[in-house]
Amino acid sequence: MKDLKSEKALAAKEAVKYLSNGQIVGLGSGSSAYIAIAEIGELVKNGLDIQGVPTSEKTRALAESLNIPLLSIEEVGSIDITIDGADEFTPDLQLIKGGGSFLLKEKVVASLSKAEIIITDSTKKVELLGKFTVPIEVIPYAQNYVLAQIGKLNGLGKIRLADGKPLVTEQGNLLIDGDFGLIQDPALLADQLIRIVGVVEHGLFINIAKKVIMGVGDTTITFEK
């Protein structure tokens, strides 16, 4: 049986090799990113001089507990490297993210980053995106309208629940998980989704990742552009 945690850890260890003194580092969210943040905490303890920019409150709390110096998003004009996870990736580095509900801040941080490095276990690689549903962050007022528009794109949207109630994101929005089947043209779908009034952002990360480091067994494979 695959040891996914150890595959994530191998990928995280490989990713932190790209860090160096003086960098501003985007800190992702999700189980893979948290392993990388723990690694970064060790490096900081041993003298690495970086400043982190968190992509969620959970990441902020973890980084603070590890004494990683932090900057807020308002304080940075650009970010050198971001290390984050993904729910699915294709060999040409298109991603679905947002399984952990933090896609909006993750995309802002990724967009400010010179290099977005994604770390995953070996279950995340797919030839076509879409087995994992596409998380879509919407303002609550527009939820029914957006669900209807998703239907017009031949998708099926469901409001994400947490403990039986609609999950509310850190921005006070809702998440719709959109099932579009296997996505032949993710760039087109990304464009169609972002044009729907009431959609704040979605989890299709198109041409954003520079590298995906995937743990496989006791080694890693790096995909890059």
Ligand X SMILES: O=C(CO)[C@H](O)[C@H](O)COP(=O)(O)O
Instruction: Tell whether residue 211 is a contact of ligand X (CB under 6 A).
Output: no
Quote the least distance from Cβ 58 to ligand X, whole Å: 10
- Please give the DSSP secondary-structure letter assigned to residue 70: B
By the rule CB under 6 A, 11 interacts with ligand X: no
Residue 220 touches ligand X, criterion: CB under 6 A:
no
Q: Is 59 in the site for ligand X (CB under 6 A)?
A: no
Residues that bind ligand X (rule: CB under 6 A) add up to a total of: 18
DSSP string, 106-131: HHHHHHTEEEEEEEE-TTSB-SSS-S
Out of 79, 103, 104, 175, the only residue in the binding site for ligand X (CB under 6 A) is: 103
Reading phi first (left if > 0) and then psi (alpha if -120 to 50, else beta), residue 17 is in alpha
Q: Which is nearer to ligand X, 31 or 144 (CB)?
A: 31
Instruction: Decide: is 137 part of the binding site for ligand X (CB under 6 A).
Output: no
Options 26, 99, 186, 215; binder of ligand X; rule CB under 6 A: 99
Active-site entry in 14, 39, 88, 106 = 106
- Collapse the DSSP code of 25 into the 3-class scheme (helix H, G, I; strand E, B; otherwise coil) and give the result: strand
Give the shortest CB-76-to-ligand X separation in angstroms: 20
Among all chains, which residue has been given the structure tokens 């998003």?
73
Burial of 128 (0-12, 13-18, 19+ CB in 10 A): middle
- As measured in angstroms, the least distance from the Cβ of 59 to ligand X is 10
Shortest spacing between CB 30 and ligand X, in angstroms: 3
Please name the residues in contact with 65: beta carbons below 8 A apart, sequence gap of 6 or more: none
The reply to whether 29 sits near ligand X by the rule CB under 6 A is yes
For residue 88, the surrounding DSSP H or E stretch is: strand 88-89
Does 215 bind ligand X (CB under 6 A)? Our answer is no
**Which stretches of the chain are DSSP H helices?**
4-15, 31-45, 57-65, 103-111, 143-152, 186-194
Is residue 201 among the annotated active site residues?
A: no
Sign of the C-alpha dihedral computed for residues 100, 101, 102 and 107 taken in this order: positive
Instruction: Tell which one of 101, 113, 143, 173 touches ligand X (CB under 6 A).
Output: 101
- Among 10, 19, 86, 208, the residue binding ligand X under the rule CB under 6 A is 86
Q: Strand 79-84 and strand 24-27: pairing?
A: parallel
31 forms part of the interface with ligand X (CB under 6 A): yes
Residues that bind ligand X (CB under 6 A): 28-33, 84-87, 97-103, 106
Residues forming the active site: 106
